[in-house]
Structure 1
Amino acid sequence: MGKNLQSTDRLRPVDLARGHGLSTQAIRNYEEAGILPAAARSPHGYRTYTPLHAGALRAFLALLPGHGHPTATAIMRAVNQDAADEAFRLIDESHAQLLDDRRTLRAVESALRDLDPTTTPPEPGGTFIGPLARKLGIRPATLRKWEDAGLVHPHRDPRTGYRVYDEAAVRDARLAHQLRRGGYPLERIAPLIAHVRTAGGLEPLEAALTDWHDRLSARGRALLAGAAELEAYLRARGGGSGGSSA
């Protein structure tokens, strides 16, 4: 692959765009963003690319699913600026985030094992919004937002009007907090908690947890695929995979 990428064959923007479902304007935008190396110009001022640019494009598109657009862009910009170590640092951060998300999933599963709405008796007391927010490491405004979204249902103290979270409401807040950490949007969390609250069990969460597992596995494989294409591009640039310059 390295030999082909080093070829001096000239490619037009449309040649790069074709086959990837991209527009020629997207190719120009990628070059301006530093995702692709700077293109040479023809005597008439037209951009001309080479198979090395095609390799950069393949690497970027392969990095996107695992890293997301901002990080994939930063990785390619670092490589094209001969700062491979910075690219490796960004890649490490994505792997660290994936590991943290896996730990969060395990924490959610651990929390769910201890939560059963059918056996949680109501308590006469409760927790106010401030102490609960501090315990979860969030702001009181976040708990109020979750209440508006139907995730938690505190009751009001009849004398003061303050929100009071009984054991069931604290459970729902904990579930919401863990699922939010796992990347679930509020609109997906609300029906899950509603089912847990009313359906008599935690079974409705099984599909969500399975989906979460699948998404993490897909990200892991995407990181591997992106690494393979980036390695090919690094080798084509002549920098291999272990130096600080490409």
Structure 2
Amino acid sequence: MTSIAVQSLSFYYKKEAPILTDITLTFDQRTTAIIGQNGAGKTTLVKLLKGLLKPVSGDVLINDQNTRAVSVSKLAGHIGLVFQNPNDQIFKSKVMDEVMFGPLNVGQPKEEALTNSMNALQMVGMEDKKDDHPYDLSLSERKLISIASIVAMNTDIVIFDEPTIAQDHAGKEIIKRIIHDLQKKGKWVITIIHDMDFVAEAFERTIVLAKGKVLLDGATREIFLQKEVLVQAGLNLPHVTQLGYLIEKNKTFLTIDEFTEDSRF
């Protein structure tokens, strides 16, 4: 059974400069966005979830396994991370080889890895690129290949680091659909992201980090009601939410469709 629990977690490289302080969180199957200014501790938290860093104090439990006692390679079978920059992730000379690398590395038999890889490429709409060299593709296409390579691993948990970077509107719609498809398959989806419009459109829960602490945590619509707190944390509201507040102070719109379908406009 999938579970993620963060218990009294603190982390620092230098004691006088804490990065995360006494973080306690319990994740669930809601799609979850972690937001905050640069330096808020988002990336460090994700590295701790993935087991790439170990807590200074407190614990991170992934499927009831304490990351202190479990190797990164073993955790890789449970939690996948899509890098912010696909160029930091992709290293094979053929798309299919790149996508199959993760599944094979976590112990999937070759035929299973091939099937999962093709299914993942179909999910991201890149099956026709399976024989291409990744670096013959655009940056946005390489981002989709990097997503496919993690999806193919069939992990319980998928974490995206800034998934909308280098994506136009069409690319963002593809990634939004991928997130929803993963959730339907029972996967837990988490992202760290600066794109507030995408957070409003694609994520059910939002966690706000500020100066290494949890400032807000709740349903995304409720978080964007806390506009004064978000502004104090140096965060912008989604554009459609800002527009809604200009017109009707007590109405929180998360999408363009909500705005245009509202009977009063």
Question: Under a length normalisation based on structure 2, what TM-score does the superposition of the two structures give?
Answer: 0.25
Q: 1 or 2, which has the higher helix percentage?
A: 1
Question: Under a length normalisation based on structure 1, what TM-score does the superposition of the two structures give?
Answer: 0.26
Choose 1 or 2 for highest CA Rg: 1
Q: Which has the higher contact order (CA 8 A, sep 6+)?
A: 1
